[in-house]
Each structure stands twice: as C-alpha cells, then as structure tokens.
C-alpha cells in the first residue's frame, strides 16, 4: 500500500535468524516469539512491545496457512500509550493568529512569519518542521490547484499537499511581503527568521508556547500538558474526520487518503485520531449499535 517497512524488515530478518539458531524446527511457538522480543538489549519495555507487535503480524499471516504456528496474545508486553491530543477550537486558533500578529520583535516580519506558520499548520495539518523546511520553490502557488511539495519528511517520504484557496491567498501575501523586503535571492527558505535566515523550530516553538500561556489557554485536563504547535496538526486531523462524519461519508474508506495527506508511515497512526473526539466516538458507537441490532434481526 505504499508504506515503507524500514523498521519491520530488519526485525523480521532477526527473528528468522533467532528461530534458526534456536533449532525450533518447523513449529513456531508463542513463547519463542516472546523470547525473541525480549532478547534485544537495546530499548526498554516499549521497544520490546514493538518487536512483539511486528512479529505477531507475520505469525498471524503464517497461521492462516499452518495451524501449528502460535500467535502470541495481544498485550503480553505493555506498549507506549499516546496521550490524548489537545484539540484547538476555531476560536482558539483565531486568538493564536491575532496574538502572533502582535508579537513584539526586533523584526517587523517575524510576527507575520509566526502567524503564517500557525495558519498553515492549522489549515493543512502538515508538521511544523515540514513547514519550516519549505524552500521557496516548494511553495507552488501558481499551479492549479496550488500546492506544497513536502520533501524527505519524518519517514523519508516526499508528498504533494494541495492547498485551499484561502490558505494559498495567505501564503501569497507572505510571499509578496517577503519579496518587498528583499529576502528573495538572499535565503532559499520560504519562512524567514528575525535575522533574515531560515526560521528555527526552537524559536517558533517558544513563541507558540508563550502565546498559549499568555492567552490563558488551559492545559489538557487529563495529561496536564499545554498545547503547542503539534496540537494544531491534531486539531486539523480530527476536524477533517468530524466533517466527513457530518457529511455522512464513509470514514473507513477515506482514512487512507488522510493518512497519505498527513504523511503518516502507518495507517494505524491515523486511526488513533478516531479516539480523540467525543463526536467521533459517539458516531462509532451508534454505528456499532446499528450493526448489532441488524444482526439480531437476522
């Protein structure tokens, strides 16, 4: 399905070597898989859980052809739990944009940079580091539709991200201001720092962190963490799912498209967002209830 197996392939090769060295014969037991998962000296319990999850996928496949293959039970090793994401409301995003445009800075252009990056991440869901890595040539606003070329991202993939007309209009405003200030030809990066160089993630991160706290936006009620740049990406993903749900569309069929758009390595990362919104969980519960009732009628 187009997803790389950079982590899984060496793990599975190592598992095969482990089984061979143990002289397990033709039968692969669940205990053997568990022993292999715990055999690596590197990483903690989360790493071992990931190794076991990888080999479970292979063993589930093999068990369909060979009934002697044992598949370890899920949850034998505790894995990493992702915190519930903070979901910015539309009103909070507007407050962030307004606050960013009024930042005190030695450069008049820096507040515009912060506001434009916030707006871009909120409206496209791209990673903030991906936004800061954009070169001028990657912001293709004259094409139809306008788009971004995201190069060599977190998982070494490149992708095209179509832009809504309103998002493209804001990027054109930024590009025009950038040109008027004479940055074209001086810096290949699209987003400019206070000193006329590529904007740094650490500086942007601190600005957004301070904005959130100065605006009185409260931390997540469960994790206690204040929202940040990445929370804008979470909010985009969940809002897209909610919109599809409100339109009566098949979320399950559309999730792979969202996964590619967001640049996820694995569709599982996109499915995680289904648990992030009460509206989505309510819809899922209603559909399950309808499925059960339909089955009962039969």
Task: Please list the active-site residues.
Answer: 127, 154, 230, 233, 264, 273
* Cα gap 195→60, rounded to integer Å: 55
* Cα gap 135→152, rounded to integer Å: 13
Side-chain-side CA neighbours of residue 240 (13 Å): 23
How many CB atoms within 10 Å of residue 15?
21
Beta strand spans in 109-232 (E): 139-140, 147-150, 159-162
* Cα gap 112→190, rounded to integer Å: 12
* Cα gap 27→207, rounded to integer Å: 57
Helix (H, G, I), strand (E, B) or coil at 150: strand
Side-chain-side CA neighbours of residue 242 (13 Å): 15
**Of 232, 205, 144, 137, nearest in space to 175 by CA:** 137
DSSP labels, 35-48: HHHT--SSS-HHHH
Alpha-carbon Rg of the chain, whole angstroms?
Answer: 23
How many CB atoms within 10 Å of residue 282?
11
């Amino acid at each position: 399905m187009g997803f790389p197996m950079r982590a899984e392939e060496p793990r599975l090769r190592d598992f095969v070597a482990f089984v061979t060295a143990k002289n397990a014969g033709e039968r692969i037991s669940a205990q053997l898989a568990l022993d292999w998962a715990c055999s690596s000296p590197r990483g903690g319990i989360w790493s071992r859980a990931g190794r076991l999850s990888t080999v479970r996928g292979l063993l589930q496949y093999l068990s369909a052809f060979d009934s002697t293959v044992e598949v370890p039970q899920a949850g034998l090793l505790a894995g990493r739990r992702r915190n519930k994401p903070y979901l910015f409301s539309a009103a909070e995003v507007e407050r962030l944009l307004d606050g960013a445009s009024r930042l005190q800075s030695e450069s008049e252009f820096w507040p515009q940079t912060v506001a434009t990056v916030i707006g871009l991440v909120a409206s496209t869901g791209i990673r903030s580091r991906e936004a800061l890595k954009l070169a001028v040539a990657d912001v293709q606003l004259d094409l139809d539709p306008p788009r971004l070329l995201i190069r060599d991202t977190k998982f070494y993939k490149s992708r095209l991200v179509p832009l809504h007309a309103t998002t493209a209009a804001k990027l054109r405003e930024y590009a025009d201001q950038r040109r008027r200030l004479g940055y074209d030809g001086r810096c290949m990066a699209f987003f400019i720092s206070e000193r006329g160089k590529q904007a740094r993630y650490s500086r942007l991160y601190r600005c957004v962190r301070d904005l959130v706290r100065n605006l009185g936006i409260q931390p997540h009620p469960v994790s206690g963490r204040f929202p940040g740049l990445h929370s804008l990406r979470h909010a985009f993903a969940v809002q897209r799912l909610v919109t599809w749900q409100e339109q009566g569309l098949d979320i399950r069929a559309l999730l792979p498209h969202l996964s590619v758009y967001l640049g996820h390595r694995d569709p599982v990362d996109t499915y995680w967002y289904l648990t992030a919104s009460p509206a989505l969980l309510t819809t899922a519960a209603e559909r399950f209830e309808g499925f059960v009732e339909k089955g009962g009628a039969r």
